[in-house]
Structures are given as structure tokens and as C-alpha cells.
Structure 1
């Protein structure tokens, strides 16, 4: 999705909608837009210039959210189909059959079946075949949709509400939430003029977190520190920012990628923030233990200072409500409930297609195969900055009594997976329960065995002390991988491990299931 603008209201971009992990929210975004362009491609590389318009590195999450936006919109266009997350030079994309079927086709198929009013194709080819021809051969025809319900007129209040549910608290050692009476220094021009959209020229300009705080009567000071639109260090501003941090109880640095660093028409070459931002964050963290960083970005960035700051709040590109939403999340008026829809790597060199992306200008070889995103990092047991599905809250959640309706699943049958989740803290909050499946059958798999795959997720809001059962229904298709020899999905008989987690790397309960 590009700029989400309807009647002058800019709603969150797809990268932010995905962080909600909430199909109902995604559907409401579609309904409020009325007209939506939905990109069902997968985030193969964090360098892709259009990552802000895509949802996730995971096909299950992307399919659910993209289909929800299409289903909610009066007039949706799906595309560009089968571009497989490639911008630069639109080359021939060489993707093997299993990778297409498991990674790139499911979100596109789900979007088409949700009833768009049109489709769009990118330029270039897929395995030598023009994209339009490849899509006709590999994907279902768009499902006709009758939607007589009027679109929801978007309001600024709705934009704020949606943005607050898209913010991801990725780190917190105690600096957040901020408290009345603290001396708080806001640093960085993004506090005044946040980047909140992917492309286009939206109007009006968004209210920044600084103005939102002042309107609430918060006790905050402000130093520009660095500009929002370029990488430029002013020594006087730098020193004033460090001094403000020294004399504050908490320093909040608002950082992100300037528009000049990204383009929807070209891929990036680095994951770094501007040097002026990284340098100032590091210097402030050296003198202020309660340093908080707020990030405005449509894609992961390297965060070399993460181990030195107390808290990090990622707002992605959250639309015109970003300022008020950030204010509410920082000060505890709202509880962060977002989750990362993509892995944040420690460095660019760790990413799955680092050696191959974007290609030589003629061809792009997808040699990583099905090992996209967390599948790659998990298979190599590679450390990451923050894992897929990660996100913190101002409360805590306890998982207990994980159970199956049956210990064996037969072909054509189904099994229910259930777990009880309790809010163990003092404030209302949301947990996103994630269900991953691991194939432990030992059956050889052409192209390699992926350690685990997401097969379900559920966002549940709980009051303090409240507990609720979260249930998933699985069939043989959820256990299966695509077998190129059969040209079909196949689940081998044997044992599978069902893993219920808070993130892809924080598994709270595991259950064994026999198939066949």
C-alpha cells in the first residue's frame, strides 16, 4: 500500500499495518481508504525500495493482512503481482517451484480471492515468462466481490487510533513509560516533523510528538540535534543536544530514514541510519542511562547503539496520527501492542540474499530459496537484533494449559490447538499468540527442511488478571511443504511439533502431534 489518503486523511502504510498483527485492523484500513492498492509481495530483502508498501517477510501473515485490506476496501487493486520484492532494473527473476509455491504465491492468491476490482503487473519476467503470463498460469482469477456497504469515512481520530496499534516496543529496560514530573528532553527533528508516509505528497502535515506532548501539558524540552531531511552534523546542535540529555531525567531521540535516503523506484545500498543520527544517539547514550529512541522507518535499519540505550519504540510509517500515537505510547496513555512483521538483523551482511540482491541488472537469482526471513536466521541459528513477531508491552502475559483436541491428525481431518493466556500485569494489554509448526518426521525434503513456519496468530486484548483461551484449527495442509516432484503439497507421516510463542524465538509451550 502506498500513501493511505482519503478525504485528506493519511492512514498507516502497509509496513505499519502489518505490525498490528490484526486482520480486523487491516480490514478497517481498507474500509477507510475506500480505494486501495495492495502489494502482496514478500519482504525478501530489507534493501527493497518498496518495503514500506509490503506487509511482511512471512507468507501466512502477508496473506491474512493483504486479503483483509482488499476485503474491506470498496475498490482495491492488487499488484504488482509476482514482482517477488524486486525493484532495481526489473530483471528476470529466477525462482524455483517450491519457493514460488511456499513463499511468493500464497499472499498473491489470497489477495485475488478476497475480491479486488483490478490487478496490476510489474515489468520484467519470472523464469523467462512475462509477469502477466506467469500470473495467469500460476494464480487464480480474481474473485468477484459484491460490497454494498459504504466505505468508512476516515477521520484524524481514526488515524491516531490505528497508528497507536501499529507501534512496536522492541526494547525497554525501564525508561518507558514516561512519568509526569520527569524532566524529559526530546531530541531530533523527527520530533517536530516525523516521516509518516511512503510516497506521494500527503496533506496536511502530521502533528509531531513534540506538539502532541505540549498540547497535553507535558514537561518536555526540545533540541533539534540533527535535521529530518538530510545527513548533516551541526556541532552547536550536537553539543546542545548532549547537554540537554545530561540535565534531563530521560532523553528521547526521534530518529529515522529521511526521504532522501529511500525511493520507491530504487533499492537501497545500506541499512544504516544517517551518520549524524547514529553518532548523536551513541553520544547521548554515553551520558544518559535513560535514553529512548523512537524510529520512523519503513524497513529495518541497523541499530549499533541498541545495547547502550534503555528503550526503542518503532513506529514504522504510521500515518498522520503518528505524533499523538507516539505521545500516548511513550507516556503510557496507550499500551504498545505491535509486533515486528520482519526480522531486524544485526547487519546487512547477515540477510538471506545479501550475496545475490538485487542481481546483475539482467537476472536476479533467488538462491536463498524458501529460507526467507526468520526461516533463514533460524536454520543457521544466527543471532538477530530483534526476531520476527517480537514486541513488548507495559504488562505481562502467562501461557498455561496448552492442549490438543487429539494427539493424532488423519488425512482429511482437523485438530484444535488451544492455550490459556492470562494478563499477569496491572494494565490492559494485548498479546499476539503465534503458532509455529516444525516437521520432525525426518523425511528428506528437496531444498532443505525449514526449522519452523508460522501457521496461525491471534491478537487478544486482556484486562489485568483476565485470562482467555486462544484456539487454532489445523489440517494436513498446515503441516505440509510443497514437493516439486509431486507438483503438490505433501505432509509426510510422522511427528510434528506445534510451538506456541510470544515471538518466533520465545516459545512458551510445545505440543507433539502425529500425522497419518
Structure 2
């Protein structure tokens, strides 16, 4: 095991550094490296793009993957990898990427990307895990731990509320505090706390009027002070507006180099007193800590086995693919004699997204060849191109050839989806449809062949108007360089599909909660849908999706039984243990993803129908059963209360729901949780009688007032009239009572209820 040397004495180094040297360290040396200071023995370290592989460029560098990179293993992008719901697998994937980073002398991998999938149209959704912050943060923590187990740092990104590509460098994301905390920051929070990434990357956009790289609330108050983040905050590439303001807000490192502009602003700000030297020293100290951490963890003569890493990529792809439909159990293909393999993707696969995460793979599976290897010797596979990769329009000749081939075979397997031109970093999609050439191909083949299987390659949800015309659909997402082998394994039953959707597939775009607001007018992006993102919207408003969150089929079947809780009544400072028995009732070994949701049965505030609070993936042989256990603590029952600026549990009953998707709940228990937080109910002249009823003293006063009133005046009051009275303010009652309810009486009630004089 490598001997770790003691950390350099950073405090002593700070004393020896000039102002110019300190300012210089806060900006990059070039596109991918930090600055060195040779006279003090401070080295430069390299960082490169991730997150689903290593993009270390040779020669000229750029941010969008235009120039060639050194070969590295391309794993499934996060949209697919998240569908594995497998924390151990994602940890091993991260560790594999970490080993490759060590071999290429890379100190920090820029990933994972954990922004929430607010809309299926976001062009970069393929790089993000989920629409659910609990799932996203849990998987991100596993990835971070995996990479960093190899002595290589990560940079969780893009902090925060970076959910569109349209005007991403300038748009102002306008989002209320509760939504910010429960959805968009929660996707980062547990990953930061549990994973302890070396760095956090500040996004391009503004949040509520302030650029992320200059947002003190995000970078200092929340990230560092509340969450205890001890690493450094760097900018997204070119995301710094004013570097001196960024340093003051909690940014440490501007990337890439800005030609001396950023450091000049820092020097001037310190010299004029705008920025304190103490604040600059704090930033430099964090930078030096990470630089030396990278140096101390560098492994000499690091190397890796490309073939072994390709096998891991194949496993990751196989575990991530989602079987969406399997009518008549057409899959897996076992004893068929002839198969038509149709679609250009079968020989030139779409296996990754476009932009800064674009990997130069060590090898890429030919799907058709891998299917030939996996099929029985008696099965004949023939290929038809079906569509052209460089045009969207249907090619009649290619479709005719595909149709003729499909007529002659038992089964047709069509490879379709989204070309790279449809989704990439830098622009958003306009609609959910696949190219016309792909759609027409599926429809025409289905007219002559009743046994059609569609295998999809896409980074985000699509519409499927042809769904009823085909027997099976396998969602492959962007499966990385080994997707061909993974698809062949699943199609021919060498492995059992076990992925489940980490996002909702809507029937049509208009059903998405952000439909009326995405992507905004270019100046602002209004997050008016609030906390109702993804399944929180579809389930609460009973909008039927095409495929729900957490959905995925298997070649076997599972039975859930005997849900148990160790306590059915707790305080919110306690925890609950929940267990469920799961059995494989089919004839093939497989893996099931058990999902636990929590529902607040009756709440005074608006809450989703249910929220994911636990999940586990288990392997089961036929007839095998296992007991899966979950531990639920306060956050599983809490919402973010903006009155107290903290997480709060309302006293009451909660349903513990366990199932195979957000729409397939199979077992449930109810528990009662007592809140230990007393929320101050300070009454004013503008409080309502309803507010007065919520105050213990106020409630007694109301009872006394009601007993003194003429009972006949209350006869026949309906619920609507009672609601109107409870909604009346004390001040308005004073004005409208014609002297019966005086100002002095109101002040007396307020003083008694608040135990203090209210002016």
C-alpha cells in the first residue's frame, strides 16, 4: 500500500506568498491545470472532464470535446447508469474511472453531474441521474466515493439549479426557498455530506438574481456553513463574472485561465480594501489543501487493463437497461430460427452524449456482431440499415429493404432512438419525438411483422406513438462502449433485465409540470411548478404517464410480503426500521429494485402524494426470498419550513409505501410521528381568527368569545361561512364590528397570545 506523506504546512506557505502569487493561484494556469509556484514547491495539478469516462485531451484543448482525447473507457451516461439503482455498481464504476485517471496523471475528474431533470427537453439530461433528489444524491455519493477511493478527486456539478441549456450562461433561475431546498439543493446535499467530494463546481446561471459563482448564500452559507463542505469551489469553465466578488462569496478557483484578468481584479480589490486579505487567504488555503492532497495520493506507474474495464462497462450497461414492454413474453429470444436486425444504430451505435463529456472510447461494440455471438448456432441474423444516420427524413429505399427482410424472418429487432444532433450540451430539445425516419421504419415494419422488438438509444424520454404496434421495448439509453454486448446478453437471455426508470416518461410533452415555463424567456426561468417535479407531479395530480418513475420489467416475477416496522409511533428525533420480504416467484434468477416511499396522510401544507425515501437492489434465484431492511429518520418525513428555515415534521400519520414503482405500491404500513419542534406562532393585527385558533392561548380566547356570543347568531352557519370567519383578520374584524370589537380588545388578545405587547 502506498505510503501517504504528511500534508505540507499550508499556514507557513501562506506567510511566504506574495499577494500576486495568492491571486494567481485563484485562476487556472491554462485550460485544465492549476498554477504552480516553483519557488515554494507548490505544484500544478490536472483536471479533466468526466463523468462517464475520462476526457483527457492531447494537443489543443477545448471544453466541448471538439479536439481529440486520449482513449479511455466509456461507461453508460448517468441517465442510464441511474436506472441500475445500484450503489455498489456505481461505486465500482467510479473506482474504475479513478484508476484510469491515475494512469493518465489526472488529479480531479469533473463529475458527477447531479442536476435535477426538471424537463425532459433539457439537452444535457443524459448526463444527469434523475428527477428525484434522493435517488440522485444517493447514487452521486457512491460515484464520488468510488473515484476518490483511488486517490483522485471529483467535482460535483453544476451547483446549482442548472436545468436547461438555453441561455445557460446568463439565465436567472427564479425558484422559491422551499423548492430550492427540497428539490434542487437536495440533489447535491447528501452527496456532499456523505461523499465529501474534493471540489464543487459552481454553475453558469444565476439563482434568484445572483450568479452562482458569486452567490454567497449558495457557496458559503449553505454549502460550507450548513453542509460543512471542506473542499474547494471552482467555477464551471468561463462561469466567473467578477472573480473578486466570487472570492468574497465563497468561490476559490476560476477555471480556465482568464489571461490574468481575474487575478488582476483580486489584487486591486485587496489593495483598495474591497476584499480582505484574510478572505483571500482562506481561498488559497483551500486550493493548496486540494493540490497537496492530489500530490500525496498520486500512484507511481499506475496502469489498467483495458479489456477488464470494458467488461465492467458491459456489466454497467447490462444492469442499467430497462425492459419497458414484453408482450407475450417475446423476450428473451431462445429458439428462434431467423431474426431481422434493422437500423443503422445496430452497426454504428449511439452510445454517448455530445459536448464536454464526449469520450474517445478504447473500443466500441458492434451490436450486430455481439448479437451474432450471443445467438444460438441455429439462429440466422440478417441486417438492414433502415434509415440514414445523416438525415431525418425517411428513405423509401432503405425502408423497403427493411420491410422485405422483416417479412422473411420470425422476429424483427429494430434499433432506433435519438441521433447526437438531437441532444447535446449547449442546446435543448424542442419536442419528444424521434426522427421521422426512425418512426416510419417502426410503423412500416410493424405492418408486415407481428413480432417487433424495439431497442432504444437515447439520453432522455421520447414519445412512442408506435408502442401498441410492437411487442417489446428495451430502453438502452446511452449505454457506453460496451452496449452491444449488454444488449445481446439481454435479448438472448444470457442475463435478466433489472433496470428501472430513474425518470418519468410522459405520454406527451404537455403533461410535464414545467411545460408552460420551460425554458423561460431567456432572461428568467420561472420554476412555478415548485416541488412538483417528475413523479411528484404525475402521482399527485393523477396524470397517467407513458411509463412511471421506478418502472421496469424482468424475465422473472417477484412477490412482496410481510412488511414490518419496529415502531408504529415515534418522535421525529427517533428512527424507524422497516422490513419487507421479497421472493423470486419465477423460473429465472434476477434482480429486483425495492422502492420505499413516504406519504404524509394529512398536511396543512401542500405536499406530494408520495416521495422516495429508500431503495435497495437485491439478487434472487428462483424461489429464493430475502428480507430487505430500511432505516427512516427525520428527513424521511420532513418538509422544508421557510418560517424556521429548517426541516420540519408535522405531527401526524404517515404511510410507509413499498413497491416496484411509484405507481405499483404493493405493501404499506402507517406510523405516527410526533414533532419535537415548536414553531413560534407570533400573531399580529393582520393575523386571522384561524391563526388565533392555532395559538394555544388564542384558542382558549376564541372559545371564551364564542361562549359569550348569542348562540342563535351561530345557528345555520355552514362550513363555507365558518371558513370565511376563520379567514378574517383581527384588524378587519375591528373595522367591520361597528365598535363591538375594539382596538383595545384586539391588542389585549395579541398581548395575551404572544405574551408580549404588539405595536
- Range class of TM-score, shorter chain: over 0.9
Matching of residue 142 in structure 1 with residue 229 in structure 2: yes
Which one of the candidate residues 174, 177, 182 is aligned to 1:94?
A: 174
Which one of the candidate residues 72, 86, 100 is aligned to 1:22?
A: 86
Matching of residue 54 in structure 1 with residue 128 in structure 2: yes
Aligned length: 513
Q: Per the alignment, do residues 191 and 498 of structure 1 end up closer, same or farther by CA in structure 2, a change over 3 Å counting?
A: same
- Contact conserved, 1:49 with 1:266, CA < 8 A, in 2? yes
- Alignment of structure 1 residues 296-311 onto 2, 5 Å: 296-311=457-472
Q: Deviations for 1:88-142, whole angstroms, at most 9, x for unmatched residues?
A: 1120000000101100112212232312222222223100122132421332353
- Alignment of structure 1 residues 188-337 onto 2, 5 Å: 188-199=343-354, 200=358, 202-204=360-362, 206-216=364-374, 217=377, 218-337=379-498
- Contact conserved, 1:419 with 1:470, CA < 8 A, in 2? yes
CA distance in structure 1 between the aligned counterparts of 2:578 and 2:303, rounded to whole angstroms = 35
- Alignment of structure 1 residues 72-91 onto 2, 5 Å: 72-73=146-147, 74-90=152-168, 91=171
Partner of 1:116: 197
Alpha-carbon offset, residue 152 of structure 1? 9.1
CA distance in structure 1 between the aligned counterparts of 2:647 and 2:196, rounded to whole angstroms = 25
Q: Structure 2, unaligned stretches of length 5 or more?
A: 1-49, 56-70, 99-108, 232-289, 675-759
CA distance in structure 2 between the aligned counterparts of 1:115 and 1:358, rounded to whole angstroms = 32
Q: Which runs of 4+ in 1 moved over 4 A?
A: 143-152
Question: Partner of 1:17: helix, strand, or coil?
Answer: helix
Alpha-carbon offset, residue 430 of structure 1? 0.4
- Contact conserved, 2:162 with 2:203, CA < 8 A, in 1? no
Partner of 1:486: 644
CA distance in structure 2 between the aligned counterparts of 1:149 and 1:229, rounded to whole angstroms = 44
- Alignment of structure 1 residues 501-516 onto 2, 5 Å: 501-516=659-674
- Contact conserved, 1:186 with 1:223, CA < 8 A, in 2? yes
Matching of residue 475 in structure 1 with residue 639 in structure 2: no
CA distance in structure 2 between the aligned counterparts of 1:229 and 1:350, rounded to whole angstroms = 31
- Between stretches 371-380 and 243-252, larger displacement belongs to 243-252
CA distance in structure 1 between the aligned counterparts of 2:598 and 2:298, rounded to whole angstroms = 38
Question: Partner of 1:339: helix, strand, or coil?
Answer: coil
CA distance in structure 2 between the aligned counterparts of 1:149 and 1:71, rounded to whole angstroms = 17
- Alignment of structure 1 residues 30-45 onto 2, 5 Å: 30-34=94-98, 35-45=109-119
Alpha-carbon offset, residue 392 of structure 1? 0.6
Alpha-carbon offset, residue 287 of structure 1? 2.3
Matching of residue 406 in structure 1 with residue 563 in structure 2: no
Alpha-carbon offset, residue 476 of structure 1? 2.5
Max Rg structure: 2
CA distance in structure 1 between the aligned counterparts of 2:502 and 2:189, rounded to whole angstroms = 20
Matching of residue 456 in structure 1 with residue 614 in structure 2: yes
Partner of 2:586: 425
Q: Deviations for 1:412-455, whole angstroms, at most 9, x for unmatched residues?
A: 21111111000011111000000001101x2311xx22100000
CA distance in structure 1 between the aligned counterparts of 2:228 and 2:426, rounded to whole angstroms = 28
Partner of 1:373: 534
Partner of 2:187: 107
Question: Partner of 2:111: helix, strand, or coil?
Answer: strand
Partner of 1:172: 326
Q: Deviations for 1:324-357, whole angstroms, at most 9, x for unmatched residues?
A: 0000000000100101000001111111101110
Q: Deviations for 1:281-330, whole angstroms, at most 9, x for unmatched residues?
A: 11222222211100001101111111221110011111101000000000
CA distance in structure 2 between the aligned counterparts of 1:152 and 1:471, rounded to whole angstroms = 39
Partner of 1:125: 206
Partner of 1:443: 603
Q: Per the alignment, do residues 165 and 219 of structure 1 end up closer, same or farther by CA in structure 2, a change over 3 Å counting?
A: same
- Alignment of structure 1 residues 349-360 onto 2, 5 Å: 349-360=510-521
CA distance in structure 1 between the aligned counterparts of 2:370 and 2:229, rounded to whole angstroms = 43
Partner of 2:8: none
Question: Partner of 1:9: helix, strand, or coil?
Answer: coil
Partner of 1:185: 340
Alpha-carbon offset, residue 3 of structure 1? 4.6
CA distance in structure 2 between the aligned counterparts of 1:19 and 1:423, rounded to whole angstroms = 20
- Between stretches 197-206 and 41-50, larger displacement belongs to 197-206
Matching of residue 158 in structure 1 with residue 312 in structure 2: yes
CA distance in structure 2 between the aligned counterparts of 1:4 and 1:180, rounded to whole angstroms = 37
Alpha-carbon offset, residue 503 of structure 1? 0.5
Alpha-carbon offset, residue 36 of structure 1? 4.6
CA distance in structure 2 between the aligned counterparts of 1:237 and 1:58, rounded to whole angstroms = 41
CA RMSD, 1 decimal:
1.8
Alpha-carbon offset, residue 380 of structure 1? 1.3
Alpha-carbon offset, residue 481 of structure 1? 1.0
Q: Deviations for 1:136-193, whole angstroms, at most 9, x for unmatched residues?
A: 1332353459896979946211111111111110111122101234311111001111
- Contact conserved, 1:112 with 1:143, CA < 8 A, in 2? no
CA distance in structure 1 between the aligned counterparts of 2:320 and 2:402, rounded to whole angstroms = 29
CA distance in structure 1 between the aligned counterparts of 2:86 and 2:80, rounded to whole angstroms = 11
